[in-house]
């Protein structure tokens, strides 16, 4: 009798690990929440949560820290998924925080930096003790320093020296009142893994992830689409270019890339050939300094 071979594909292994992490957090923590912006990584994370708890509803809310500078296609996708899954959406509004004088509008118009106090305020208000984030280790060098369970103190701050050992699939969920854990179920995924999973699961994404014509300007070596939150500067001449977005953050600091990839298959081929991460290629706020992301994470950022 021939021996039967049982093999698990790479994507199946990643999916199983992420589902385990989601279930572990749901079992260990009292008030978890999933950070959901409507971008590709958070959409995949929400899909994994759906699989982890089906046929029951997802047992925690989702939260969007909303800068107010959003791409309408992304917000439409966010709201559609929330309705489909019948999950509670919490919106922590940066604009409301500005109006209440909790934070100040930055002079450069980029609101990513002032997301942090808004996030920390929402954590305290709702008493969240675990927050799922869609960060991956391959997207930025500061992300690579963080583990799956990222301990945050009672000020929401991250100190890489205080990270806990993670042996095999054993995660330390012990926290004191006021402390919290940031949890990254996609930690071991790459951008290419995410796109392969999107293809396999037939996951719907905002249309701006695929090639389309946009009016753009070249600024600091990147192509920014002209919109209400990113006006033309003196001396700039806009032009129409065939582009797509690799990541969809704040519209005031997220650039496009030249692309003809108008389907998932073409995007996968494009991502497989690229040698620069999506944040490195398209996020102007990460170019403030060499350690800009790490500095923000120490302050309490995602």
Same domain, 184 and 280: no
pTM over 0.85: yes
Does pLDDT of 284 surpass 70? no
Q: Does the residue 173 lie in any domain?
A: yes
Question: Band of the pLDDT at 293, cuts 50, 70, 90?
Answer: low
Q: What is the mean pLDDT of residues 183-189?
A: 95
pLDDT per residue as tens digits for the range 221-230: 899 999 888 8
Residues 6+ apart with CB under 8 A from 201: 47
Does pLDDT of 271 surpass 90? yes
Same domain, 142 and 261: no
Q: What is the mean pLDDT of residues 35-59?
A: 96
d(CA 253, CA 245): 12
Same domain, 211 and 143: no
Residues 6+ apart with CB under 8 A from 174: none
Q: Does the residue 102 lie in any domain?
A: yes
Of 142-146, 241-245, 254-258, the range with the highest mean pLDDT is 241-245
Count: domains in the chain: 2
Question: Band of the pLDDT at 296, cuts 50, 70, 90?
Answer: low
Same domain, 52 and 161: yes
Same domain, 153 and 233: no
Same domain, 82 and 178: yes
The boundaries of the domain holding residue 155 are 10-192+291-299
Same domain, 63 and 151: yes
How much is the pLDDT for 241? 96
Same domain, 102 and 160: yes
How much is the pLDDT for 278? 80
Q: Does the residue 5 lie in any domain?
A: no
Q: Does the residue 154 lie in any domain?
A: yes
**What's the chain's average pLDDT?**
89
d(CA 43, CA 226): 26
Q: Does the residue 45 lie in any domain?
A: yes
d(CA 56, CA 119): 28
């Amino acid at each position: 009798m021939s021996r039967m071979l049982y093999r698990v594909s790479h994507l199946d292994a990643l999916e199983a690990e992420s589902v385990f992490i989601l279930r572990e957090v749901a079992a260990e923590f009292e008030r978890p929440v999933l950070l959901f912006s409507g971008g590709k990584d958070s959409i995949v994370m929400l899909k994994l949560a759906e699989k982890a708890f089906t046929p029951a509803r997802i047992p925690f809310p989702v939260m969007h820290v909303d800068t107010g500078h959003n791409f309408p296609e992304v917000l439409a996708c966010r709201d559609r998924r929330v309705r489909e899954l019948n999950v509670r959406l919490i919106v922590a509004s940066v604009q409301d925080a500005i109006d209440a004088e909790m934070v100040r509008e930055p002079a450069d118009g980029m609101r990513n930096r002032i997301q942090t106090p808004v996030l920390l305020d929402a954590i305290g208000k709702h008493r969240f003790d675990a927050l799922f984030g869609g960060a991956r280790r391959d997207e930025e060098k500061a992300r690579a320093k963080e583990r799956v369970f990222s301990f945050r103190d009672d000020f929401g701050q991250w100190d890489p020296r205080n990270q806990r050992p993670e042996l095999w699939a054993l995660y330390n969920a012990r926290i004191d009142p006021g402390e919290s854990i940031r949890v990254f179920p996609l930690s071991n995924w790459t951008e290419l893994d995410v796109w392969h999973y999107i293809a396999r699961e037939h996951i719907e994404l905002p249309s701006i992830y695929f090639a389309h014509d946009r009016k753009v300007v070249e600024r600091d070596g990147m192509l920014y689409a002209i919109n209400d939150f990113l006006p033309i500067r003196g001396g700039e001449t806009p032009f129409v270019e065939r582009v797509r977005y690799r990541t969809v953050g704040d519209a005031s600091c997220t650039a496009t890339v030249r692309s003809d990839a108008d389907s998932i298959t073409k995007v996968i081929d494009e991502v497989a050939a690229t040698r620069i991460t999506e944040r490195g290629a398209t996020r102007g706020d990460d170019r403030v300094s060499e350690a800009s992301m790490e500095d923000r994470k120490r302050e309490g950022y995602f």
